Amino acid sequence: MRRLLALTWKEFMQLKRDRLTLRMIILIPLMQTMIFGYAINYDVKHLRTVVLDESRSYDSRELVARLTASEYFDVVGRVDSLKELEAALDSAQASVGLVIDREYGANRHRGTPAAAFLVVNASDTTTASQAMSIAGGVATQLSMQTLARRAGWRERALPIDLRVRPWYNADLRTSTFIIPGLLAIILTFTLIQFTAGAIVREREMGTLEQLQVTPVTRTQLILGKLLPFILIGYVQLTVTLLLMRFLFDIPIVGSVALLYGVAFLFIAAVLGLGMLISTLVQNQRQSQQVSMMFLLPFVFLSGYVFPIDGMPPMFQFVSRLIPARYFIEVVRGIVLRGAGVDQLWVPISWLAFYTVAIISLAVFRFRKTAN
């Protein structure tokens, strides 16, 4: 116990000297929360739109007004020919072009189909699909109103009243979806590299060998390395949670204690991964490269930004191997839905399983390379 204390004390003294790393511990969660909380927004409003209105009628103006009222389209210009419209999209002055047919107004009065078409810059698929669904919705609404009027329907509501209620994220804010998952990413980002780097540095300096001739056991050596980093993990977790709660106004519906408890499993898994990396590499540069390699699947296949359901089966399988996937599932469950152990025991069990597996493998490899 005394030895373990000495090892931990040493680690903190080194950390105290390493001002840069010390700052990074706070700066990384701060920066990433800002970037991912503010900059990432799937809900793309105010698309720059150019309009070619060949109809120039009351009805064509109504269509444009309806589209702009949705806030998804901002009319930034009117053009007189298809050529000009094309030029506006080509030069990226606009990402949406609306063409309203010459007969649009006349056809609406006549009751024959009135045509308009929407050109969307689909190189950004998120933007494009959003523009398409909003425009489609506007068109359907207009059509329904026309039909209802003609059929002599007097009710204010349409025959089928399907109302969609977005639960757990009532305002459909991207940050509500992103930031709870960000907890996993921040912990992965810093802790894998810190742990791998710290062990590799000791090996490079020869101090690891020096420790191995002392009566310090392997277990003490490993724990002495991991304990300080667990604490760092919790500091980062707390910083991120505070930002989430007070800056982004995302309340934690469920149990904070449960969140901190499950976080222990994840932090241990990530530290184990760092330790594992340290046994695979020769120097600090390599350890950074390998850490980065692990980071990518954690970010992209964990369901953090891209929904797992949308992945091809092979990648859905790969995502099952990523501990971050389960942690993110648990965090979203606790923070957004107020779920408890009875609802989350499956991902918690998987997380626990991977944590034990990774730590065992790391300890096994560590013992082997030490000899």
Partner 1 sequence: MNTPPPMENLVTARGLTRRFGAFVAVRNIDVDIPRGRVFGFLGPNGSGKSTTIRMLAGLLAPSAGRITGFGGIDIATETDAWKRRLGYMSQKFSLYLDLTVEENLRFFGSVYGLRGGSLAGRIDALADRLRFHHVRRMLTEGLSTGLRQRVALAAALLHQPELLFLDEPTGGVDPAGRRMFWDLIYELAADRGMTVLVTTHYMDEAEQCDRLAFILDGAIIADGSPTTLKSHLAGRLFEVEVAHDAFTTLATLRPLSMFEDVYLAGRRLRAVLAAGAEREAIARLGLQGLAREAEPSLEDVFVSLARKRAPGAEEAA
Q: What is the C-alpha separation between 74 and 185, in angstroms, rounded?
A: 35
Stretch that binds partner 1, among 13-21, 153-161, 246-254, 321-329 (CB under 8 A): 13-21
- What are the tokens at 353? 């399983």
Under 8 Å between Cβ of 301 and 311:
yes
| Shortest separation between residue 279's beta carbon and partner 1, angstroms | 17
In Å, what is the CA distance from 238 to each residue of 38, 125, 337? Answer: 19, 35, 20
* Tokens (6 digits) for 265: 């499993």
6 binds partner 1, rule: CB under 8 A: yes
Task: Tell whether residue 371 is a contact of partner 1 (CB under 8 A).
Answer: yes
Candidates 70, 210, 282, 360: give the one binding partner 1 (CB under 8 A).
210
Q: Is the Cβ of residue 11 or residue 53 nearer to partner 1 in the bound state?
A: 11
- Shortest spacing between CB 278 and partner 1, in angstroms: 17
C-beta separation of 358 from 323 below 8 A: yes
Decide the pairing of beta strands 47-53 and 96-100.
Answer: parallel
Output the smallest distance, CB 130 to partner 1, in A: 51
Please, which residue, 119 or 200, has the CB nearer to partner 1?
200
- 216/311 with CB nearer partner 1: 216
Any contact of residue 206 with partner 1 (CB under 8 A)?
yes
369 near partner 1, rule: CB under 8 A: no
10: contact with partner 1 by CB under 8 A: yes
The binder of partner 1 chosen from 112, 129, 212, 369 (CB under 8 A): 212
Q: Which of 17, 156, 163, 165 binds partner 1 (CB under 8 A)?
A: 17
Residue 245 in contact with partner 1, rule: CB under 8 A: no
Question: In degrees, to the nearest 5, what angle opens at C-alpha 245 toward C-alphas 241 and 246?
Answer: 120
Cβ proximity of 351 and 267 under 8 Å: no
What is the rounded CA–CA span in Å between residue 119 and residue 129?
12
Residue 110: exposed, middle, or buried by beta-carbon count in 10 A (0-12, 13-18, 19+)? exposed
Q: Does 198 bind partner 1 (CB under 8 A)?
A: no
Looking at the DSSP bridge assignments, the partners of residue 99 are: 52, 117
Residue 332: which residues within 8 A CB-CB, separation 6 or more? 177, 180, 181
Instruction: State in angstroms the smallest separation of the CB of 365 from partner 1.
Output: 16
Return the residues of window 215-244 that contact partner 1 according to CB under 8 A.
215-217
Query: Is 368 one of the binding residues for partner 1 (CB under 8 A)?
Result: no
Of residues 205, 256, 321, 346, which one binds partner 1 by CB under 8 A? 205
Instruction: Determine, following the binding rule CB under 8 A, whether residue 24 of this chain makes contact with partner 1.
Output: no
Supply the minimum distance, in Å, between the C-beta of residue 22 and partner 1.
12
- For helices 19-34 and 218-242, give the axis angle rounded to 10 degrees: 40
Question: How many other CB atoms are found less than 10 A from the CB of residue 216?
Answer: 16
Q: Which is nearer to partner 1, 221 or 352 (CB)?
A: 221
Cα 123 to Cα 92, 127, 369, distances in angstroms: 11, 9, 49
Q: Does 3 bind partner 1 (CB under 8 A)?
A: yes
Binding part of the chain for partner 1, among 9-17, 284-292, 343-351, 352-360 by CB under 8 A, reads 9-17
Q: Is 349 in the site for partner 1 (CB under 8 A)?
A: no
| Cα dist from 229 to 198, 291, 322, whole Å | 10, 16, 21
DSSP-assigned letter for residue 104: H
Smaller CB separation from partner 1, 125 or 371 = 371
Q: How far apart are the first and last CA of the chain?
A: 24
Residues that bind partner 1 (CB under 8 A): 2-3, 5-7, 9-10, 13-14, 17-18, 205-207, 209-217, 371
